[in-house]
A = this chain, B = another copy of it.
Amino acid sequence: MKSEARSVGLPTTDWAAHAEQELKRAGHRSSAPRSAVVEVLGRQGCVLSAREIADELRADGRDVGIATVYRALELLDELHLVQRLDVGEGTVRYEPAHPSGEHHHHLVCDSCGRVSSFEDRDLERAIAHLAGRLDYQVGGHDVVLRGACPACSSA
C-alpha cells in the first residue's frame, strides 16, 4: 500500500485497473475501444450515459462507435463491474461498482433532472435486514429519492 493518498472515499482511480483485470479473468480480449470506455467511467465516478461516454471520447480524439460503447457497458454490467441507474428519463446511466461493496444512491430533481448522491448506513442496514427476511435471493438494490434540489426549491 503506497500511494493511497486519497481521503476517506472511494478508490475511484483503481476501479479501471480492477475492471480490466476482471475482464481478462473472464476470458475477454483487451482492446483499445473497450479500455477507453472503462477509463472514462473510472475518471467520472458517478452516473454517465452511453452517449455521454461516446461524446467524452470523441472530444478526446478517441472515437469509439456507439455500438461498442453499449456493448462494453453491457459486458461490464454482466460482470457486475458497473451499476446501472435508470431514473426513467429514457436513458440508462452507469457508474463504477466498487468491489468493496461501497456504494451510494441517488437523488433526482423533478424539475431540473440533475442527479446527486448520498450514502446512509441506516438505510443500508434496513435493506440488509429486510432482504434477510424475504423469500427471495436478493443480490442488489436501488434507491432513488425524488424531489427538488436546493437550487430548484429556492427558486
Binding site for B on A (CB under 8 A): 84, 86-88, 92, 107, 110, 116, 118, 120, 122-123, 125-127, 129-131, 134-150, 153
16 contacts between A and B (CB under 8 A): A84-B88, A116-B136, A120-B130, A122-B126, A122-B129, A126-B126, A131-B145, A136-B148, A139-B146, A141-B143, A141-B145, A141-B146, A142-B142, A142-B144, A142-B146, A143-B143
**8 tightest Cβ-Cβ pairs between the two chains A and B:** A86-B88, A137-B148, A139-B147, A126-B126, A138-B147, A137-B153, A142-B144, A137-B147
| Alpha-carbon distance A127/B135, docked complex (angstroms) | 23
Identity of the chain B residue whose Cβ is nearest the Cβ of A120 in the assembled complex: B130
Contacts of A147 in B (CB 8 A): 136-140
- Which of A122, A136, A153: most chain B Cβ within 10 A? A136
Contacts of A142 in B (CB 8 A): 142-144, 146
Identity of the chain B residue whose Cβ is nearest the Cβ of A106 in the assembled complex: B142
| Alpha-carbon distance A116/B138, docked complex (angstroms) | 12
- Contact A134–B122 (Cβ < 8 Å): no
- Contact B127–A138 (Cβ < 8 Å): no
Identity of the chain B residue whose Cβ is nearest the Cβ of A152 in the assembled complex: B137
- Contact A144–B141 (Cβ < 8 Å): yes
